[in-house]
Chains A and B, each alone.
Chain A
Amino acid sequence: MSSIEVKDLNFSFKDQTIFKDLSLNTESGTITGIIGPNGVGKSVLFKIIAGLIIPQTGLVKVNGQEINQNGFPDDFGALIEEPGFVDRLSGYDNLKILSSIKNLINKDDIKSTLKLVGLWGKHNQKVKNYSLGMKKKLGIAQAIMEKPKVIILDEPMNALDEDSVQNIRTVLKKLATENNVSILIASHNMDDINLLCDKIYKINNYKVNEIQKSNNE
Protein backbone atom coordinates (compact mmCIF):
# COMPACT_ATOMS: atom_id res chain seq x y z
CA MET A 1 0.00 0.00 0.00
CA SER A 2 1.25 3.51 -0.84
CA SER A 3 2.15 5.69 2.12
CA ILE A 4 1.46 8.87 0.21
CA GLU A 5 -0.81 8.75 -2.79
CA VAL A 6 -1.56 11.84 -4.84
CA LYS A 7 -3.79 11.39 -7.86
CA ASP A 8 -4.94 13.87 -10.52
CA LEU A 9 -4.25 16.85 -8.31
CA ASN A 10 -5.33 20.23 -9.63
CA PHE A 11 -4.53 23.42 -7.81
CA SER A 12 -4.43 27.03 -8.84
CA PHE A 13 -3.95 30.16 -6.80
CA LYS A 14 -5.16 33.60 -7.88
CA ASP A 15 -5.77 32.39 -11.44
CA GLN A 16 -2.24 30.94 -11.63
CA THR A 17 -2.05 27.21 -12.28
CA ILE A 18 0.29 25.45 -9.82
CA PHE A 19 -0.56 21.78 -10.48
CA LYS A 20 -2.45 20.13 -13.30
CA ASP A 21 -3.35 16.43 -12.98
CA LEU A 22 -0.33 15.80 -10.76
CA SER A 23 0.10 12.24 -9.45
CA LEU A 24 2.77 10.61 -7.27
CA ASN A 25 3.28 7.71 -4.87
CA THR A 26 5.64 6.92 -2.03
CA GLU A 27 6.12 3.53 -0.36
CA SER A 28 6.80 2.52 3.24
CA GLY A 29 10.48 2.09 4.09
CA THR A 30 11.64 4.33 1.24
CA ILE A 31 12.83 7.89 0.79
CA THR A 32 11.38 9.83 -2.13
CA GLY A 33 12.90 13.07 -3.39
CA ILE A 34 11.20 16.02 -5.04
CA ILE A 35 13.25 18.48 -7.02
CA GLY A 36 12.41 21.52 -9.08
CA PRO A 37 13.29 25.19 -9.39
CA ASN A 38 12.18 27.82 -6.88
CA GLY A 39 8.52 28.76 -7.01
CA VAL A 40 7.47 25.61 -8.83
CA GLY A 41 5.21 24.57 -5.94
CA LYS A 42 7.18 22.10 -3.80
CA SER A 43 6.09 23.69 -0.53
CA VAL A 44 2.51 24.01 -1.81
CA LEU A 45 2.51 20.27 -2.61
CA PHE A 46 3.74 19.52 0.91
CA LYS A 47 1.03 21.75 2.40
CA ILE A 48 -1.59 19.92 0.35
CA ILE A 49 -0.29 16.54 1.57
CA ALA A 50 -0.39 17.86 5.16
CA GLY A 51 -4.00 18.99 4.68
CA LEU A 52 -3.15 22.65 5.25
CA ILE A 53 -4.23 23.65 1.74
CA ILE A 54 -7.33 22.22 0.10
CA PRO A 55 -6.85 21.58 -3.64
CA GLN A 56 -9.59 22.29 -6.17
CA THR A 57 -9.74 18.66 -7.31
CA GLY A 58 -7.78 15.44 -6.87
CA LEU A 59 -7.19 12.71 -4.35
CA VAL A 60 -4.60 12.83 -1.56
CA LYS A 61 -4.13 9.84 0.72
CA VAL A 62 -1.66 9.42 3.58
CA ASN A 63 -1.44 5.95 5.12
CA GLY A 64 -4.68 5.12 3.34
CA GLN A 65 -6.50 8.05 4.95
CA GLU A 66 -8.05 10.51 2.54
CA ILE A 67 -6.86 14.06 3.25
CA ASN A 68 -9.50 16.69 2.70
CA GLN A 69 -11.21 19.45 4.64
CA ASN A 70 -12.41 16.90 7.17
CA GLY A 71 -9.06 15.61 8.35
CA PHE A 72 -5.32 16.08 8.76
CA PRO A 73 -3.06 13.04 8.29
CA ASP A 74 -2.64 10.75 11.23
CA ASP A 75 0.74 9.24 12.17
CA PHE A 76 2.49 12.02 10.27
CA GLY A 77 5.39 14.45 10.75
CA ALA A 78 6.23 17.51 8.69
CA LEU A 79 8.77 20.27 8.28
CA ILE A 80 7.45 22.84 5.84
CA GLU A 81 9.19 26.18 5.24
CA GLU A 82 10.16 27.97 8.47
CA PRO A 83 8.71 26.22 11.51
CA GLY A 84 6.99 28.64 13.92
CA PHE A 85 8.68 28.01 17.25
CA VAL A 86 8.11 30.15 20.33
CA ASP A 87 11.33 32.17 20.40
CA ARG A 88 11.31 32.97 24.11
CA LEU A 89 11.13 29.30 25.09
CA SER A 90 13.89 26.72 24.94
CA GLY A 91 14.11 24.13 22.17
CA TYR A 92 13.15 21.44 24.68
CA ASP A 93 10.08 23.38 25.92
CA ASN A 94 8.93 23.96 22.34
CA LEU A 95 9.00 20.22 21.68
CA LYS A 96 7.26 19.57 25.02
CA ILE A 97 4.41 21.92 24.08
CA LEU A 98 4.00 20.36 20.64
CA SER A 99 4.09 16.85 22.09
CA SER A 100 1.35 17.80 24.59
CA ILE A 101 -1.12 18.18 21.71
CA LYS A 102 -1.26 14.49 20.83
CA ASN A 103 0.27 13.25 24.08
CA LEU A 104 1.91 10.24 22.38
CA ILE A 105 5.44 10.57 23.74
CA ASN A 106 7.18 11.31 27.05
CA LYS A 107 10.20 13.36 28.17
CA ASP A 108 12.61 10.51 27.39
CA ASP A 109 11.38 10.37 23.79
CA ILE A 110 11.98 14.11 23.41
CA LYS A 111 15.44 13.73 24.95
CA SER A 112 16.41 10.88 22.62
CA THR A 113 15.13 12.81 19.56
CA LEU A 114 17.17 15.87 20.54
CA LYS A 115 20.23 13.62 20.94
CA LEU A 116 19.53 12.10 17.53
CA VAL A 117 19.55 15.46 15.73
CA GLY A 118 22.52 16.72 17.76
CA LEU A 119 20.75 19.35 19.84
CA TRP A 120 21.07 17.73 23.27
CA GLY A 121 23.28 19.99 25.38
CA LYS A 122 21.79 23.08 23.73
CA HIS A 123 18.21 22.06 24.41
CA ASN A 124 17.81 24.53 27.28
CA GLN A 125 18.86 27.54 25.20
CA LYS A 126 16.08 29.84 24.09
CA VAL A 127 15.16 29.38 20.42
CA LYS A 128 15.79 33.10 19.79
CA ASN A 129 19.46 32.38 20.48
CA TYR A 130 19.56 29.41 18.09
CA SER A 131 21.41 29.69 14.79
CA LEU A 132 19.58 28.97 11.52
CA GLY A 133 21.06 25.45 11.47
CA MET A 134 19.96 24.74 15.05
CA LYS A 135 16.43 25.88 14.23
CA LYS A 136 16.44 23.53 11.25
CA LYS A 137 17.54 20.63 13.48
CA LEU A 138 14.75 21.49 15.92
CA GLY A 139 12.33 21.50 12.98
CA ILE A 140 13.51 18.01 12.00
CA ALA A 141 13.25 16.90 15.65
CA GLN A 142 9.59 17.96 15.93
CA ALA A 143 8.80 16.15 12.68
CA ILE A 144 10.30 12.83 13.77
CA MET A 145 9.80 12.86 17.56
CA GLU A 146 6.35 11.24 17.56
CA LYS A 147 7.72 8.35 15.47
CA PRO A 148 5.30 8.88 12.57
CA LYS A 149 4.94 6.42 9.71
CA VAL A 150 5.09 9.22 7.11
CA ILE A 151 7.45 12.21 7.23
CA ILE A 152 7.67 15.09 4.77
CA LEU A 153 10.67 17.42 4.93
CA ASP A 154 10.99 20.63 2.95
CA GLU A 155 14.69 21.49 2.45
CA PRO A 156 15.79 19.72 5.67
CA MET A 157 19.54 20.18 5.09
CA ASN A 158 19.45 23.94 4.42
CA ALA A 159 21.77 25.86 6.75
CA LEU A 160 23.25 22.67 8.25
CA ASP A 161 27.03 22.22 8.50
CA GLU A 162 28.67 19.24 6.80
CA ASP A 163 28.80 17.06 9.97
CA SER A 164 25.14 17.76 10.70
CA VAL A 165 24.19 16.94 7.10
CA GLN A 166 25.95 13.56 7.42
CA ASN A 167 24.22 12.92 10.75
CA ILE A 168 20.73 13.82 9.48
CA ARG A 169 21.27 11.68 6.36
CA THR A 170 22.11 8.72 8.64
CA VAL A 171 19.09 9.39 10.86
CA LEU A 172 16.71 9.55 7.89
CA LYS A 173 18.18 6.42 6.26
CA LYS A 174 17.77 4.54 9.56
CA LEU A 175 14.17 5.70 9.98
CA ALA A 176 13.30 4.45 6.51
CA THR A 177 15.12 1.13 6.60
CA GLU A 178 14.76 0.12 10.27
CA ASN A 179 11.42 1.69 11.20
CA ASN A 180 9.75 1.28 7.80
CA VAL A 181 8.98 5.01 7.62
CA SER A 182 8.08 6.65 4.31
CA ILE A 183 9.98 9.92 3.85
CA LEU A 184 9.34 12.58 1.22
CA ILE A 185 12.08 15.20 0.84
CA ALA A 186 12.19 18.38 -1.20
CA SER A 187 15.70 19.64 -1.81
CA HIS A 188 17.86 21.67 -4.16
CA ASN A 189 20.91 19.68 -3.13
CA MET A 190 21.35 16.85 -5.64
CA ASP A 191 23.92 15.14 -3.37
CA ASP A 192 21.26 14.72 -0.70
CA ILE A 193 18.73 13.54 -3.24
CA ASN A 194 21.08 11.04 -4.91
CA LEU A 195 22.50 9.68 -1.67
CA LEU A 196 19.24 9.40 0.21
CA CYS A 197 16.42 8.77 -2.21
CA ASP A 198 15.11 5.53 -3.64
CA LYS A 199 12.88 7.42 -6.07
CA ILE A 200 13.11 10.97 -7.44
CA TYR A 201 10.37 13.15 -8.88
CA LYS A 202 10.91 16.39 -10.73
CA ILE A 203 8.18 19.02 -10.83
CA ASN A 204 7.85 20.44 -14.29
CA ASN A 205 4.95 21.96 -16.22
CA TYR A 206 2.55 21.63 -13.28
CA LYS A 207 3.20 17.85 -13.02
CA VAL A 208 5.80 15.51 -11.55
CA ASN A 209 7.88 13.11 -13.59
CA GLU A 210 9.93 10.32 -12.11
CA ILE A 211 13.60 10.67 -13.06
CA GLN A 212 16.66 8.43 -12.72
CA LYS A 213 19.01 8.85 -9.74
CA SER A 214 21.98 9.50 -11.95
CA ASN A 215 20.20 12.41 -13.62
CA ASN A 216 21.69 15.46 -11.91
CA GLU A 217 19.39 18.05 -13.42
Chain B
Amino acid sequence: MENIVIHKADTRGSVDMGWLKSRQTFSFSGYYNPERIQFGALRVLNDDVVAGGRGFGNHPHDNMEIISIPLKGGLVHMDSMGNSSIIHPGEIQVMSAGTGIYHTEYNQNDESTAEFLQIWVFPNKRNVTPRYDQQQITLAGKNVFTQILSPNGDDEGVWIYQNAWFHMGEFDGGNQTVYDLKDKTNGVYVFVIKGDITVNGQALNNRDGMGIINTQSLNITADSDAQILLMEVPSTFNG
Protein backbone atom coordinates (compact mmCIF):
# COMPACT_ATOMS: atom_id res chain seq x y z
CA MET B 1 0.00 0.00 0.00
CA GLU B 2 1.16 3.49 -0.89
CA ASN B 3 2.72 5.49 1.96
CA ILE B 4 3.13 9.23 1.79
CA VAL B 5 4.69 11.99 3.83
CA ILE B 6 3.89 15.62 3.18
CA HIS B 7 6.17 18.50 4.09
CA LYS B 8 4.32 21.78 3.71
CA ALA B 9 6.58 24.63 2.70
CA ASP B 10 6.11 26.63 5.89
CA THR B 11 6.99 23.67 8.13
CA ARG B 12 10.54 23.42 6.78
CA GLY B 13 13.56 24.45 8.79
CA SER B 14 14.46 28.09 8.43
CA VAL B 15 17.83 29.78 8.59
CA ASP B 16 18.50 33.48 8.14
CA MET B 17 22.17 34.39 8.30
CA GLY B 18 21.71 37.70 6.55
CA TRP B 19 23.66 36.68 3.46
CA LEU B 20 21.90 33.30 3.32
CA LYS B 21 18.24 32.55 3.73
CA SER B 22 17.56 28.85 3.58
CA ARG B 23 14.50 26.67 3.94
CA GLN B 24 15.45 23.12 4.79
CA THR B 25 13.18 20.16 4.18
CA PHE B 26 15.38 17.85 6.22
CA SER B 27 17.60 18.34 9.28
CA PHE B 28 20.67 20.27 8.26
CA SER B 29 23.42 22.07 10.13
CA GLY B 30 21.75 23.87 13.07
CA TYR B 31 18.24 22.66 12.16
CA TYR B 32 17.47 19.31 13.79
CA ASN B 33 14.10 17.63 13.69
CA PRO B 34 14.18 13.88 14.38
CA GLU B 35 11.01 13.52 12.31
CA ARG B 36 12.74 15.12 9.33
CA ILE B 37 16.02 13.32 8.74
CA GLN B 38 15.76 11.96 5.21
CA PHE B 39 13.54 10.41 2.59
CA GLY B 40 15.33 7.17 1.78
CA ALA B 41 18.62 8.10 0.11
CA LEU B 42 17.54 11.74 -0.25
CA ARG B 43 19.17 13.49 2.71
CA VAL B 44 19.20 17.22 1.95
CA LEU B 45 16.81 19.49 0.13
CA ASN B 46 17.71 23.09 0.86
CA ASP B 47 15.97 26.00 -0.82
CA ASP B 48 18.68 28.65 -0.65
CA VAL B 49 18.66 32.40 -1.34
CA VAL B 50 22.14 33.94 -1.40
CA ALA B 51 22.65 37.70 -1.13
CA GLY B 52 24.43 39.62 -3.88
CA GLY B 53 28.16 38.94 -4.01
CA ARG B 54 28.03 36.59 -1.05
CA GLY B 55 28.30 32.83 -0.74
CA PHE B 56 29.85 29.77 0.79
CA GLY B 57 33.60 30.09 1.43
CA ASN B 58 36.03 27.28 0.81
CA HIS B 59 34.77 24.20 2.67
CA PRO B 60 35.15 20.44 2.40
CA HIS B 61 32.82 17.59 1.56
CA ASP B 62 33.19 13.84 1.38
CA ASN B 63 31.03 10.84 0.58
CA MET B 64 27.96 12.61 -0.74
CA GLU B 65 26.34 13.20 -4.10
CA ILE B 66 25.71 16.96 -4.16
CA ILE B 67 23.41 18.40 -6.77
CA SER B 68 22.73 22.09 -7.34
CA ILE B 69 19.85 23.38 -9.41
CA PRO B 70 19.90 27.18 -9.86
CA LEU B 71 16.52 28.88 -9.95
CA LYS B 72 17.60 32.52 -10.24
CA GLY B 73 20.86 34.33 -10.92
CA GLY B 74 24.29 32.79 -11.31
CA LEU B 75 26.47 30.79 -8.92
CA VAL B 76 30.24 30.78 -9.24
CA HIS B 77 31.78 27.42 -8.42
CA MET B 78 35.45 26.69 -7.80
CA ASP B 79 36.86 23.47 -6.41
CA SER B 80 40.04 21.68 -5.43
CA MET B 81 39.95 19.62 -8.64
CA GLY B 82 40.60 22.79 -10.59
CA ASN B 83 37.05 23.32 -11.84
CA SER B 84 35.89 26.90 -12.16
CA SER B 85 32.52 27.70 -13.64
CA ILE B 86 29.26 29.58 -13.32
CA ILE B 87 25.91 27.85 -13.31
CA HIS B 88 22.61 29.48 -14.19
CA PRO B 89 18.95 28.49 -14.27
CA GLY B 90 18.54 25.86 -16.95
CA GLU B 91 21.65 24.02 -15.79
CA ILE B 92 22.39 21.33 -13.23
CA GLN B 93 25.61 20.74 -11.33
CA VAL B 94 26.76 17.56 -9.62
CA MET B 95 29.67 16.69 -7.37
CA SER B 96 30.52 13.23 -6.15
CA ALA B 97 32.48 14.24 -3.08
CA GLY B 98 33.93 10.76 -2.53
CA THR B 99 37.28 10.80 -0.73
CA GLY B 100 37.16 14.56 -0.28
CA ILE B 101 36.83 17.81 -2.13
CA TYR B 102 36.97 21.50 -1.23
CA HIS B 103 34.76 24.01 -2.98
CA THR B 104 33.62 27.60 -2.98
CA GLU B 105 30.24 28.75 -4.16
CA TYR B 106 29.05 32.35 -4.36
CA ASN B 107 26.57 34.62 -6.05
CA GLN B 108 27.98 35.93 -9.32
CA ASN B 109 25.98 39.14 -9.11
CA ASP B 110 26.82 41.81 -6.52
CA GLU B 111 23.42 43.47 -6.66
CA SER B 112 20.74 40.78 -6.79
CA THR B 113 20.07 37.52 -4.97
CA ALA B 114 20.75 34.07 -6.38
CA GLU B 115 18.40 31.20 -5.64
CA PHE B 116 19.13 27.52 -5.93
CA LEU B 117 18.15 24.10 -4.69
CA GLN B 118 20.93 22.26 -2.89
CA ILE B 119 20.25 18.53 -2.89
CA TRP B 120 22.31 15.80 -1.24
CA VAL B 121 21.82 12.12 -2.01
CA PHE B 122 23.63 9.41 -0.06
CA PRO B 123 26.05 7.56 -2.37
CA ASN B 124 25.79 3.82 -2.97
CA LYS B 125 29.59 3.63 -2.94
CA ARG B 126 31.90 5.28 -0.42
CA ASN B 127 35.35 6.74 -0.99
CA VAL B 128 35.14 7.12 -4.76
CA THR B 129 37.42 9.49 -6.65
CA PRO B 130 35.79 12.94 -6.52
CA ARG B 131 34.18 14.17 -9.72
CA TYR B 132 32.37 17.25 -10.98
CA ASP B 133 30.00 17.86 -13.85
CA GLN B 134 27.50 20.44 -14.99
CA GLN B 135 25.08 20.25 -17.85
CA GLN B 136 22.49 22.31 -19.64
CA ILE B 137 18.96 21.12 -18.99
CA THR B 138 17.07 21.17 -22.25
CA LEU B 139 13.44 20.59 -21.39
CA ALA B 140 11.75 18.27 -23.84
CA GLY B 141 8.88 20.77 -24.00
CA LYS B 142 6.00 21.82 -21.82
CA ASN B 143 3.76 19.35 -20.07
CA VAL B 144 6.29 16.52 -20.06
CA PHE B 145 9.03 15.54 -17.65
CA THR B 146 12.66 15.71 -18.74
CA GLN B 147 15.22 13.44 -17.12
CA ILE B 148 18.03 15.50 -15.59
CA LEU B 149 19.85 12.88 -13.51
CA SER B 150 20.29 9.12 -13.52
CA PRO B 151 22.70 6.42 -12.30
CA ASN B 152 24.09 5.98 -15.82
CA GLY B 153 26.84 8.04 -17.42
CA ASP B 154 25.49 7.44 -20.91
CA ASP B 155 21.91 8.34 -20.05
CA GLU B 156 20.18 11.71 -20.23
CA GLY B 157 21.33 14.36 -17.73
CA VAL B 158 24.07 14.14 -15.14
CA TRP B 159 24.80 10.93 -13.25
CA ILE B 160 25.46 10.04 -9.63
CA TYR B 161 26.58 7.08 -7.56
CA GLN B 162 23.07 6.05 -6.59
CA ASN B 163 20.09 4.27 -8.08
CA ALA B 164 18.28 7.58 -8.54
CA TRP B 165 16.52 9.50 -11.28
CA PHE B 166 15.52 13.15 -11.23
CA HIS B 167 13.03 14.71 -13.61
CA MET B 168 11.90 18.29 -14.07
CA GLY B 169 9.00 19.74 -15.96
CA GLU B 170 6.90 22.82 -16.54
CA PHE B 171 3.18 22.24 -16.82
CA ASP B 172 0.25 24.36 -17.90
CA GLY B 173 -2.64 24.61 -15.47
CA GLY B 174 -5.12 21.79 -16.10
CA ASN B 175 -2.55 19.46 -17.61
CA GLN B 176 -2.34 15.89 -16.37
CA THR B 177 0.60 13.54 -16.61
CA VAL B 178 1.80 10.21 -15.28
CA TYR B 179 5.26 9.41 -13.96
CA ASP B 180 6.18 5.73 -13.97
CA LEU B 181 8.95 4.83 -11.56
CA LYS B 182 12.17 3.64 -13.18
CA ASP B 183 12.71 1.21 -10.32
CA LYS B 184 9.51 0.09 -8.62
CA THR B 185 11.34 -0.51 -5.33
CA ASN B 186 12.27 3.18 -5.16
CA GLY B 187 10.30 6.04 -3.66
CA VAL B 188 9.72 9.46 -5.18
CA TYR B 189 10.02 12.83 -3.53
CA VAL B 190 7.96 15.49 -5.30
CA PHE B 191 8.98 19.12 -4.85
CA VAL B 192 6.81 21.92 -6.19
CA ILE B 193 9.18 24.59 -7.42
CA LYS B 194 6.28 26.75 -8.50
CA GLY B 195 2.51 26.53 -8.62
CA ASP B 196 -0.17 24.19 -7.33
CA ILE B 197 -0.47 20.53 -8.18
CA THR B 198 -2.26 17.36 -7.12
CA VAL B 199 -0.28 14.13 -6.86
CA ASN B 200 -2.13 10.85 -6.34
CA GLY B 201 -4.98 12.83 -4.80
CA GLN B 202 -2.82 15.02 -2.53
CA ALA B 203 -2.89 18.77 -3.09
CA LEU B 204 0.49 20.49 -2.98
CA ASN B 205 1.35 24.15 -3.29
CA ASN B 206 4.37 26.31 -3.97
CA ARG B 207 7.54 24.80 -2.36
CA ASP B 208 5.64 21.91 -0.73
CA GLY B 209 7.23 18.49 -0.79
CA MET B 210 5.77 14.98 -0.71
CA GLY B 211 7.48 11.62 -0.44
CA ILE B 212 5.75 8.51 -1.75
CA ILE B 213 6.80 4.89 -1.35
CA ASN B 214 5.21 1.61 -2.37
CA THR B 215 3.82 3.01 -5.58
CA GLN B 216 4.34 2.18 -9.23
CA SER B 217 3.45 5.55 -10.68
CA LEU B 218 2.35 9.09 -9.90
CA ASN B 219 -0.73 10.74 -11.33
CA ILE B 220 0.00 14.44 -11.44
CA THR B 221 -2.38 17.27 -12.23
CA ALA B 222 -1.22 20.86 -12.54
CA ASP B 223 -3.88 22.92 -10.79
CA SER B 224 -2.13 26.07 -11.99
CA ASP B 225 0.91 26.70 -14.15
CA ALA B 226 3.55 24.73 -12.29
CA GLN B 227 7.20 23.70 -12.23
CA ILE B 228 7.91 20.33 -10.64
CA LEU B 229 11.00 18.41 -9.57
CA LEU B 230 10.71 14.65 -9.07
CA MET B 231 13.46 12.87 -7.17
CA GLU B 232 13.23 9.09 -7.43
CA VAL B 233 15.60 7.52 -4.91
CA PRO B 234 16.00 4.25 -3.01
CA SER B 235 13.26 4.29 -0.39
CA THR B 236 15.55 3.08 2.36
CA PHE B 237 19.09 4.00 3.28
CA ASN B 238 20.72 3.13 6.57
CA GLY B 239 24.29 4.21 5.96
Partners in one complex: no
Binding site for B on A (CB under 8 A): none
